[in-house]
A and B are shown apart, each in its own frame.
Chain A
Amino acid sequence: MAATVLRLRFALLRNTLRAEPWRLVLLVVGVLWALLALPSVLSGAVWLSGQGVDVAHDVLVVAGTLLAVGWAVVPVVLPSLDDSLDVRRFATSGVPPHRLVPGLLLASLLGVPTAFTAMVCLAPVIVWGGPGTRPALVVAAVLAPVLAATCVVTSRVATGAVARALGARRAREAGLVLALVGVLALVAVVAGVGRLGLEGALERVPAVAEVLGWTPLAAGWAAPAALAAGDVPGAVGRGAVAVGSLAAAVLAWTRLMRLAVVRPPAQHGALRRRTDGVLPVVARVARGRWGGPGGVAATAVALRSLRSWTADPRYAAALLGSVAAPVLIVVLVATVVDTPAALPLGLAPFVAGSIGWGRHDDVAYDGSAFWLHVAARVPGWSDRLGRAVGVLVWAVPLVVVVGVGGALVAGRADLAAASVGAGLGVLGAGLGVSAVTSAALVYPVPAAGGDPYAAPPGSVGASLVAQLVSSVATAVVCAPVLVAYAFAVWRDARLGWVALAVGAVVGGAALACGVVLGGRVLDRGAVRLLTRLRS
């Protein structure tokens, strides 16, 4: 079975490379990057082999922990998994998921990041390659594949679990509680480190590494070190933790796969119910100035777009990646170390940019449901304006809060207005650019009800173009906003109000132009857009 799955993987790779030369470029760039990074890992390992056992243990354990956490977190924040070997595609073959596991595991090892990780996992072999640590060398060599496999399986379990959590309400609530506990724990750790100061914290590293070395995160890295230090029972125990946690992760993965086949993420749990969020609101709004047919349509589009943000896992995943993750990371980092003030001060424009820029896939997310807009010949500007308003109503307050908060965290309350201005300007620029690009360029995205962390096959080239064009255009449009902000930050904080005004004006103007221009593009090309969406 494993051989069949592997052959399938190679056939798929060959076909996608043939259909999408873009992927080959990506592959080559990835391989080059890995080759360039390898010497520094090698020389680090060689240096470490000359240090004492304690130092080597601490460095390896901390590095291993970071690697493991990275594999668990990065795929959730930057969804880019190839789903061509999604277990659900095997559902009709009648092969039980647990028989597919070995093959799928081997197949997912084939990749640049995985190959690089495997090399890094071999680093302990070099560290313990000295004459006095032969037994440790053997243990390190045996554990290296376990470490690499743990990383890969962890990433699959993490994305699988998050996808399920985003798809079901009850699981989402449980996930929220878990995430809250995790954040609180992190805050406690960070606050503790902050109290000690960086120097004090570094002194604690050996104690922390000692504990981490017994956890699934780094047990496999600590086991050879324990043996090198002469602690045979400790080495056996840590080795058992490493192997046991890989077994547990594989079990969890198998269970997730079985669940994915039996109850796909989008279709499990209770029926979802909502109170009417469209007509009553439109009736209230439309009694005012928005009486025209185009205004009614725009209001309806805005409300439908708002519903997507709360009920569609793909939008929830976008929120997680572009708002929750950056805010948390910056706030946590800023409370520990003396970060340059630019980091929290840059938070508002960054969050605003990734929200606005991310909307270039808005129409792609509609998929063929977009026919309803085409059949009704919704005026292009109504469609564009509605989608923009659906984001603005929550993003503007959010950017204001993040902007003020960022300035406060940076200890520069005098720059609060400038920070908010930069955020609003970038938000408007991003939404304006997306209003045009999403009407002109669509590419395959995860289908509604599908796994939000799976990139559909055949999407890389097209999405690269759309993302590149959107990024460059957004950068150009929001340049004046950022320049004004930079002046306020580095020259004179009294210019902050100017930065706020520039941000509001440029953002508003960019959005207005985007709505008009994108609307015209849509008026002319909506039918062709639909043709591409339905294929």
Chain B
Amino acid sequence: MPPEPAVPALRLRGLGKRFGRTVAVDALDLDIPAGSFYGVVGPNGAGKTTTLSMATGLLEPDTGTVHVHGVDVWREPARAAALVGVLPDGLRLFDRLTGPELIAYAGLLRGLRPDVVAARRDDLVAALDLGGAGRTLVTDYSAGMTKKAALACALVHAPRLLVLDEPFEAVDPVSAAAIRGILRSFVAEGGTVVLSSHVMALVEATCDHVAVVAAGRVLAAGTVEEVSAGRGLDQRFVELLGGGAGPVELSWLRPSSG
């Protein structure tokens, strides 16, 4: 791994968000070093999606700051947006376009030149095996295919930081392996990946760093070795969440993996 530069790829300070009376994210601090493959894990409702939405400029935080490679996401949104690729979870796509059209659309929205978009789209269609769907509209895609098309949209403008919310949900194992390969080579080239998941095994196998989030706060963060402390991430996760969260809760974590 290259030596960590001083400026983190993503730097969250005092990030907070409430929905009515519910505190979703509570003064959250997190540094994600450039060039890391970072997993954010936590139980459902821990505030992962809210945190990642605020980090990528899709949701306004109540308090706190977000910096991407030193650029303030909420002060200089256009500069920051060019650095970040986003895969949100649970949001729709413009599903009356075909997959290749959607990828091109995402690139064009960012103002890329049409010839550049054309070349990148063809590469992405090949790499993510979207060619078989041909001219089918995204609305007729399966969930996994839709996920892959959305991932391609996040990649098309060649960002330095990728923020992916549940990227492997509903994706078949072959596609998941292909996606992991793409993400690994992206990190090897100096890019940074942040992904959220509630599947420990996946994070342990894929990421080099991990943060455990619960109730809108970071319980532990660091390299996978540091956080798991020689006991395995599952075990550590149970300990961090405290007595109430025993193996009964973990039993639903594993079978829900796609």
> Judging by beta carbons under 8 Å apart, are A377 and B140 in contact?
no
Asked if residues B58 and A277 are in contact (CB atoms below 8 Å), the reply is no
A487 on the interface (CB 8 Å rule)?
A: no
Known: A282-B108, A297-B111, A311-B137. A527 touches B60 (CB 8 A): yes
Interface, chain B (partner A; CB < 8 A): 56-60, 77-78, 81, 84, 86, 88, 90-98, 100-101, 104-106, 108-115, 117-118, 121, 134-137, 139-140, 153, 157
Name 10 A/B residue pairs within 8 A (Cβ), A-sorted.
A296-B111, A304-B94, A307-B96, A311-B96, A369-B93, A374-B57, A376-B81, A377-B57, A377-B77, A530-B59
**Residue of B whose beta carbon sits closest to that of A273:** B135
- Which of A279, A301, A528 is in CB contact (< 8 Å) with B114? A279
In the assembled complex, the CB of A445 is this many whole angstroms from the nearest CB of chain B, namely: 13
Contact A374 B105 (CB under 8 A): no
Given A292-B111, A374-B57; A274-B98 close (CB under 8 Å): yes
Residue A312 lies at the interface, judged by CB distance under 8 Å to chain B: yes
- Most chain A Cβ neighbours within 10 Å, of B84, B96, B108, B115: B108
Chain A residues lying within 8 Å of B101, measured Cβ to Cβ, are: 274, 276-279, 307
Counting chain B CB atoms within 10 Å of each CB, the highest count among A278, A367, A371, A528 belongs to A278
- Distance in Å: Cβ of A454 to nearest Cβ of chain B: 18
Chain A residue at minimal CB-CB distance from B117:
A279
In the complex, what's the smallest C-beta–C-beta distance from A368 to chain B, in angstroms? Answer: 4
User: Are B60 and A369 closer than 8 Å at their CB atoms?
Assistant: no
Contact of B93 among A267, A372, A530 (CB under 8 A): A372
A274 to B99, CA, bound (A): 10
Chain A residues with Cβ below 8 Å from B135 are: 273-276
CB distance from A56 to the nearest CB of B (A): 53
Closest to B108 in A: A300
Query: Once the chains are docked, how many angstroms separate the CA of A447 from the CA of B91?
Result: 12
Cα(A275)–Cα(B96), bound, Å: 12
Q: Which B residue sits closest to A378, measured CB to CB? A: B109
Taking the closest CB of chain A, its distance from the CB of B153, in whole angstroms, is 7
Given contacts A375-B57, A375-B88, 11 further A-B contacts (CB under 8 A): A274-B101, A276-B98, A276-B104, A279-B104, A293-B110, A296-B114, A304-B94, A372-B106, A375-B56, A375-B86, A376-B109
Residues of B within 8 A of A311 (CB): 96, 137
Nearest Cβ on chain B to A487's Cβ, whole angstroms? 43
Those 7 A-B pairs whose CB atoms lie nearest each other, nearest first: A293-B111, A300-B108, A283-B114, A273-B135, A376-B109, A369-B92, A368-B91
- Give min CB distance, B123 to chain A, whole Å: 14
Query: Which residues of B are found within 8 Å of A296, using beta-carbon distances?
Result: 108, 111-114
Q: Which residues of A are found within 8 Å of B140, using beta-carbon distances?
A: 267, 271-272
Given A272-B137, A277-B101: A376 and B110 interface contact (C-beta under 8 Å): yes
* A249 CB → nearest B CB, Å: 31
Cα of A69 to Cα of B139 in the assembled complex, Å: 35
Nearest CB of B to A451, in Å: 15
- List, in ascending order, chain B residues with CB within 8 A of A278's CB: 97, 101, 104-105, 108
Measured between beta carbons, the chain B residues less than 8 angstroms from A283 are 114-115, 118
Q: A273-B137, A275-B135 are in contact. Are A366 and B108 (CB under 8 A)?
A: no
Q: How far is the CB of A292 from chain B (nearest CB, A)?
A: 7
- With a cutoff of 8 Å between Cβ atoms, the chain A residues found around residue B134 in the complex are 273
| A contact residues around B106 at 8 Å (CB) | 372, 376
